[in-house]
């Protein structure tokens, strides 16, 4: 479904990704783990075309999107929950959701909105509240809900558990599992390697801009190198 082939990405003159190849198949949960600064966010943002890959190919559903502008890519059935959530804090919860479904018809928006409220009843309670006044966990739910509004067949999540309470993290991971049940492909970046690999069908380990390891989630969890470096021994 999503294929990255030998992708190099630069920030100015600095190369952040040195030839990365990743594949995410339909219906899978794929986790990408790695230390701070390994290039995880860069990899996800390269998929979104911001920044664009300097060489290599990004293919989504069989179409080469390497040179497409971000706005085109994000209308091709893919949605992102970015690092730091980036909800529109001055807009209400409902308005944030409507921004997520910007290109859908009113009827579709209503339907997706109901679906999001089923997943996160909390958001319905806060519907007309300014998004910036909510707690971190609620904002994360909103960011996921906003991404679901466009009815994507693939969702990219960048550190969805960052800075959240353990109970909320548990809930977020449950929702991610539920997305798979609905047939949405999930590409997940996490620092919380244990939970991410536990949930994932397959996982990639990114180190300083290169893929070091690639295996099923279960095998990676048992891999001694991964245990040492990312699972606290």
When asked if residue 90 is in the footprint of another protein (CB under 8 A), the reply is yes
**Choices 23-31, 97-105, 190-198, 208-216; region in contact with another protein by CB under 8 A:** 97-105
The CB-of-83 to another protein minimum distance in angstroms stands at 11
Kindly tell me which of 102 and 228 has the beta carbon lying closer to another protein. 102
Residue placing its CB nearer to another protein in the complex, 80 or 141: 80
Q: Which is nearer to another protein, 74 or 172 (CB)?
A: 74
Q: For residue 66, state whether it binds another protein (rule: CB under 8 A).
A: no
Phi-psi region of 60 (alpha: psi -120 to 50; beta: other; left: phi over 0): beta
The answer to the question of residue 135 lying near another protein (CB under 8 A) is no
- Measured from the CB atom, the residue of 106 and 232 that comes closer to another protein is 106
Please report the DSSP string for the chain in residue order.
-EEEEEEEEEETTEEEEEEEEEEE-TT-EEEEEE-TTSSHHHHHHHHTTSSPPSEEEEEETTEE-TTS-HHHHTTSSEEEE-TT----TTSBHHHHHHHHTTTS-HHHHHHHHHHHHHH-HHHHHTTTSBGGGS-HHHHHHHHHHHHHTT--SEEEEESTTTT--HHHHHHHHHHHHHHHHTT-EEEEEES-HHHHHHH-SEEEEEETTEEEEEEEHHHHHH-HHHHHHHS--
**Dihedral of the CA atoms 171, 177, 178, 180 (nearest 10)?**
160
Q: Does residue 26 bind another protein (CB under 8 A)?
A: no
Q: Is 48 in the site for another protein (CB under 8 A)?
A: yes
Nearer to another protein, 38 or 148 (CB): 148
Our finding on whether 103 is near another protein (CB under 8 A) is yes
Kindly state whether residue 75 participates in binding another protein, applying the rule CB under 8 A.
Answer: yes
207 binds another protein, rule: CB under 8 A: no
Is residue 82 near another protein by the rule CB under 8 A? Answer: yes
Residues 214 and 229: their CA atoms lie apart, in Å, by: 15
Task: Work out whether 217 is an interface residue with another protein (CB under 8 A).
Answer: no
Is residue 71 close enough to count as binding another protein by CB under 8 A?
yes
Interface with another protein, residue 136, by CB under 8 A: no
Binding of residue 213 to another protein (CB under 8 A): no
Is the omega angle on the peptide bond into residue 51 within 30 degrees of 0, that is, cis? yes
Counting contacts by CB under 8 A, is residue 162 touching another protein?
A: no
Q: Using CB under 8 A as the criterion, which residues of the chain lie in contact with another protein when the complex forms?
A: 48, 50, 69-75, 79-80, 82, 84, 86, 88-91, 95, 98-100, 102-103, 146, 150
């Amino acid at each position: 479904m999503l294929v990255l082939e030998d992708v190099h990405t630069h920030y100015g003159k600095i190369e952040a990704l040195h030839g990365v190849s990743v594949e995410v198949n339909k219906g899978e949960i794929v986790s990408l783990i790695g230390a701070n600064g390994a290039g995880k966010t860069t990899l996800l943002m390269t998929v979104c075309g911001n920044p664009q890959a300097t060489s290599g190919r990004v293919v989504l559903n069989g179409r080469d999107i390497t040179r497409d502008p971000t706005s085109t890519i994000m209308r091709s059935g893919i949605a992102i929950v970015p690092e730091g959530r980036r909800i529109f804090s001055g807009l209400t919860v409902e308005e944030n959701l409507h921004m997520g479904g910007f290109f859908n018809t009113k009827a579709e928006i209503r339907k997706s909105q109901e679906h999001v409220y089923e997943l996160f009843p909390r958001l319905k309670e806060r519907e007309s509240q300014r998004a910036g006044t909510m707690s971190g966990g609620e904002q994360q739910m909103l960011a996921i809900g906003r991404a679901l509004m466009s009815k994507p067949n693939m969702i990219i999540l960048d550190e969805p558990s960052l800075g959240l309470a353990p109970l909320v993290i548990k809930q977020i991971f449950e929702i991610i599992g539920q997305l798979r049940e609905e047939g949405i492909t999930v590409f997940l970046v996490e620092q919380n390697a244990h939970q991410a690999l536990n949930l994932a069908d397959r996982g990639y380990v990114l180190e300083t801009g290169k893929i070091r390891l690639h295996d099923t989630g279960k095998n990676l969890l048992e891999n001694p190198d991964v245990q040492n470096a990312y699972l606290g021994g």
